[in-house]
A and B are shown apart, each in its own frame.
Chain A
């Protein structure tokens, strides 16, 4: 029976090509809009995650602090506990990077700028160089011990260009003053507004200025096989290293900044420092850092969903009206079919199947158009817009609508279409064969 219903419905849809095309077109447009918004936001979040991960040097970040007479010292001196925990997660960890970092004053002539500086082992972090967007100079040769890769905005503030030498004033881990000379080899695009603006230098040289040994490090960062494991691995390391679970962004809304920092990241400048023994760890995941970005993206997704819903409601009103018209047009035909013995529920199902075919066709076309748009737009290199680079994958837009989102959008379209067609279908099923056949319409 279903075959017959399908055949009749398909014929009816095909009979009114123009009308069917317009209805399916409206559905396709709605489907295309919501899928491209989902795809774009999904791609942007994915790219930001990847670029953040490379810029920060991992997906899970573990730093250590010690207490000494001089106060807090940032370093992981005794890492036995940490390496033991690392062994347990060997199968999900793709690579490990070790970094040092400091807030330093960069000086060029009479100008200076405070800046976060990462000490990086460039040989071990080959992906970092690929993720940096160079605006001047080159990253081809990173062999010099005293090289510095600095954000373009900082270079503009200092008035420095690649090839020139800058001074870096910093404090050693015990708080003593030190100064180093660095040759700027490249300027890179930074993302200051998302909290990532850092100078990259060689770890061994930075360590010598910080008063650390060349092999020492202040943070151990983990690149995971899949980024989805970040929370699980982060939580595992917190348990192993005795670090309390941090609060989420939603939990600290409304409380003051200082307390929020303490709740989110486990430190506060407002608290009296209690001395402690050994290394105290801090474990942060890429998801914690990405929370504000994802909140912004989710807001965009919600706007997209609202637009989609409005489009869908408009289309559904169109479908209801169209099916009411169809009902009037086919009154005699329905009467004849009913006279030949067609049951009421079959008449209703024919109408519903027509709506289903239209919406499924529209949704399929919307998805095909999305696929084509993604293919074409994804091939364009947006090298001329440096500010966008952090959202892109090596200069290209990425679309990543999740199957779950696509599936739920299709279900929504089909459900709304069936709902829109249900009442005209019910009215068609209720028609009396005699009255329908004697109708003048």
Chain B
């Protein structure tokens, strides 16, 4: 009889704990995600920078790509213009709302591409250079608290709300103090880790922040990673014609 009573109490405890876990309040984390989105968005100003990408490929060795990045969040536009290496100089990407175009000066042709595709064979995606929203693209499925290095962080598990994002599952390490994403892990549809991202340094730009160093690690190909460093960050107003196909064509003359 005593044994049955203990079992019953245990069962009740487990049920309560499960229910408590199920009812975990994600509103704080959702708020933090909105904050993360907010401070990485620049609706009132243009943004330009020079991105230096160092790609470490175990097969092809080290490769350096220098890209000039122009971004206007109002209207969802960006333009990426490759400056180095010489063989790819003049190639560019232009985002106009839903359409992302790739321009190749050798053929003088524009071709459709997607934000989900990788950028020039690196571990970065085209989407990494555009405005991005965790709060609307993902829902929080769980979170824990922990530390990353010396920083107290929230470790947040996310699941995509639809199939518009390239990675259906993600895990973020967000600092408690100023809501910076320090680390990401992105998972495939069958929940296999595909890419890790590290964001060790940020710069304050106007009212927001922008990572000045990003490291993307390919978790499937041993030893493959891409390091992106941002410099010459500016919020100066850009002429409207920067975000046009004509600008990309002219940039090569």
Contacts and interface: CB of A to CB of B under 8 A. Distances in A.
Interface stretch (A25-33, A122-130, A267-275): A267-275
Given A169-B194, A178-B188, A211-B189, A70 B166 contact: no
Given A109-B222, A110-B222, A176 B109 contact: no
B190 interface: yes
Interface stretch (B8-16, B80-88, B110-118): B110-118
Contacts of B168: 176-177
Contacts of B194: 169, 177, 179
Contact of A176 (B111, B112, B165, B222): B165
A272 B188 contact: no
Contact of A175 (B112, B163, B192): B163
B223 interface: yes
Given A176-B168, A176-B189, A273-B112, A110 B163 contact: no
Interface in B86-144: 99, 107, 109-112, 114, 116
Contact of A172 (B189, B222, B223): B189
Contact of B167 (A111, A177, A209, A258): A177
Given A69-B164, A70-B164, A270-B109, A175 B116 contact: yes
B59 interface: yes
B110 A270 contact: yes
A169 B220 contact: yes
Contacts, number: 74
B69 interface: no
Contact of A258 (B109, B166, B188): B109
Contacts of A109: 222
A179 B193 CA distance: 9
B220 A107 contact: yes
Nearest to B59: A111
A107 B192 CA distance: 14
Nearest to A173: B163
Contact of A110 (B167, B192, B223): B223
B7 to A, nearest CB: 41
A71 interface: yes
A269 B99 CA distance: 12
Contacts of B77: none
A270 B116 CA distance: 18
21 contacts: A70-B164, A71-B114, A107-B221, A109-B222, A112-B59, A171-B116, A172-B163, A174-B163, A175-B114, A175-B163, A176-B166, A177-B167, A178-B188, A179-B190, A179-B192, A179-B194, A209-B189, A270-B111, A270-B112, A272-B99, A273-B112
